[in-house]
Structure 1
Amino acid sequence: MLKVGLLGAGRIGNVHAKAISAHPGSRLVAVSDVNMEAAKKLAAQYGAEARATDQIIGDALIDAVLIATSTDTHSDLIEAATKAGKAVLCEKPVDLSLERARVCQKAVAASGRRVMIGFNRRFDPNFAALKAAVDRGEIGKAELLSVTSFDPAPPPVSYVRVSGGLFRDMMIHDFDMACWIMGGLPETVTAIGSSIVDPAIGAVGDVDTAVVTLYFADGRIAVIKNSRRAVYGYDQRVELLGSEGLLSAGNVLENTVSKATAAGVVGAKPEFFFLERYMRAYLAEWAAFVDAVNTGSALPVTLDDGVNALAVAEAATRSAKSGETVKVASVL
């Protein structure tokens, strides 16, 4: 039985607590949060204890920690947990700073411990099936990837201000997806962005609408579209054109009922947001982590993957600000 400490009792911490407790091979032992009352409330739901973060990391009886705290704490906690001999699953991104993330990468390598980064979309059944079909060569060589990711509504400006920006906070999932599906890092990144959904987002220096083009060394292309507003729900689609066909993964709808009348055909909207859309993915992600820790097998998503996605996000941020194409090698 894998004994687990959860660091962070916010919205995503609640999701992970559910996944940890639902797995027959893991047990949530302790929860920490800067808001101790939140930690106590979440811990009580699952028969765990509320403790200070350093107590959880220092407890030799705890085998693994899941880091679901604010992004600016991720690298410090990863380093502390691996130094203490824990296995780690950390929410994305590794850090707000690529430089700091690379320091963390070196520290973890020296510790000999393993860290998995929480790019949960890899574990979505539909996206995973698309990736498996690519790997089997079902559409020949992958040539043009399109990723659409629209949120139903923008987050509060207070969140945007500390998020690291759309490219590091939101599109980083799509950068990881593109690298995963295409099998490596792009050579160059060209990004454009604007603030047309909420002027307040622009006022704090971020964008809420963006398009990024990734160019790979062999000529393949990936195009990523993000918006902080889609009034019809959470829009999550992937389309991949290959030399011998096309693969696409569409939205998960609230239900599969459609109505056809003389007026037309209507159906359900996409599931509203990530908690509904990706709960199965979070459960599968945790199961994969537990299996890798227990068997010693390779982690399906590594700290290196997290640093690579952050490097692409850094290149996109620079490109959007400068109006120029940025080489990924120049930021690594």
Structure 2
Amino acid sequence: MTFRLGLAGTGRIGSAHAEILKALPAVAEVVVADADTERARATATKLGAEFAPDIDTLLGSDIAGLVIATATDSHPELVVAAVDRGIPVFCEKPLAADIAGTLEVIRRVEQSAVPVQIGFQRRFDAGYTAARAAIASGELGWLHTLRATTLDPAPPPAHYIPRSGGLFRDCGVHDFDIIRWVTGREVREVFVLGANRGERFFADAGDVDTAAVLMRLDDGALATVSLGRYNGAGYDVRLEALGSRGNAVVGLDERVPLRSVEPDHPASPFPAYPGFMDRFRRAYAEELSVFTDVARGRAENPCGPREALEAFYIAEACELSRREHRPVAVDEVR
């Protein structure tokens, strides 16, 4: 059985999602809309999708599910509007721009049985899945250290930053979520240092372009998260899980942008990933494929709104720690 899906937002990630959705066997038709109607029309023409001139038309076009890839500040209204119409939702993180907004959306959607899946694509990446299995099996022994890295090769456009939510809510939240998911543990405390050595627009927006996060998990394990917007060598996303009996490393492949200066260690001939869409293309496809099953009632929701909220709490604690230059218990921001 095939069905129609709606897509709100045809920017960088929205256009990529449209291509993936069009290729899924379960999807008969994709209907796209965007505040920028010409961009939406161009995307529809390019992909052979259906064009909707506005969101109201999109929601009324007999769609069986809605994928939301618009700017963060529009997520709450779109999610609630779809759920009120009984339309299952896939929403790119975050659910809302702040905790209060997230809690309000959760309150609204939990009054309904309509599923809302939040987009944390790393949960569908083969490497992270394998690391989770290794930890759960006891193969690594007890974990003592985790090291996560998300380093962009170049910063986003200046106009994006004020609406992004900042480095921790926009970028680091993926690491915070995946540390919880891979380990099955909760983050109890964080301490953060941030820096600005690049473009002025980060500081002007009250943001940082580089950060180091130290975390304590509920079992006593320590985790570090390195975040940055200026990793000229390429897109670098990794996770190291170090245990008493072994370790598991995600992202250590021939395209990792690390250069050894040891004389007997030749450089990889393969280019680094240029960005997140290339690195996680298969994960995005798997994530959206699962959503088609969730929307049809054939699968459990793999990442509901409350999962997104937990990662958001960690991001909020990180921002507070950075501003006040002190350790912050995650419970402080709940």
- The TM tier, using the shorter chain, reads over 0.9
Q: Percent identity?
A: 36
Q: CA deviation at 1:74?
A: 0.7
1:54 to 45, 53, 56: 56
* Runs (5+) with no aligned partner, structure 1: none
- Cα deviation, 1:216-235, whole Å, max 9, x if unaligned, reads 22212221101111111001
Give the corresponding residue for 1:38.
39
Q: CA deviation at 1:270?
A: 2.1
Q: What are the residue-to-residue correspondences of 1:243-254 with 2, within 5 Å?
A: 243-254=244-255
Q: CA deviation at 1:292?
A: 2.8
**What amino acid is the match of 2:323?**
K
- Cα deviation, 1:184-208, whole Å, max 9, x if unaligned, reads 4311121111111333322331101
Q: Secondary structure at the match of 2:95?
A: coil
Question: Matched residues in 1 for 2:206 and 2:161: separation?
Answer: 9
Give the corresponding residue for 1:158.
159
Deviates more, 1:222-231 or 1:175-184: 175-184
**Is the 1:94–1:310 Cα contact (8 Å) retained in structure 2?**
no
Give the corresponding residue for 2:115.
114
Give the corresponding residue for 1:319.
321
Q: CA deviation at 1:29?
A: 3.0
Question: Matched residues in 2 for 1:292 and 1:162: separation?
Answer: 30
Question: Matched residues in 2 for 1:166 and 1:264: separation?
Answer: 34
Give the corresponding residue for 1:169.
170
Q: How many residues align?
A: 330
**What amino acid is the match of 1:271?**
Y
Q: CA deviation at 1:116?
A: 0.7
Q: What are the residue-to-residue correspondences of 1:71-82 with 2, within 5 Å?
A: 71-82=72-83
**What amino acid is the match of 1:151?**
D
Give the corresponding residue for 1:282.
284
Is 1:210 aligned to residue 211 of structure 2? yes
Q: What are the residue-to-residue correspondences of 1:181-192 with 2, within 5 Å?
A: 181-192=182-193
Question: Matched residues in 2 for 1:119 and 1:177: separation?
Answer: 8
**Is the 1:29–1:49 Cα contact (8 Å) retained in structure 2?**
yes
Q: TM-score, normalised by structure 2?
A: 0.93
Question: Matched residues in 2 for 1:84 and 1:201: separation?
Answer: 39
Question: Matched residues in 1 for 2:246 and 2:145: separation?
Answer: 11
Give the corresponding residue for 2:11.
10
**Is the 1:252–1:277 Cα contact (8 Å) retained in structure 2?**
no
**Is the 1:215–1:221 Cα contact (8 Å) retained in structure 2?**
yes
Q: CA deviation at 1:243?
A: 2.5
Q: CA deviation at 1:251?
A: 4.0
Give the corresponding residue for 2:133.
132
Deviates more, 1:109-118 or 1:181-190: 181-190
Question: Matched residues in 2 for 1:306 and 1:190: separation?
Answer: 21
* Runs (5+) with no aligned partner, structure 2: none
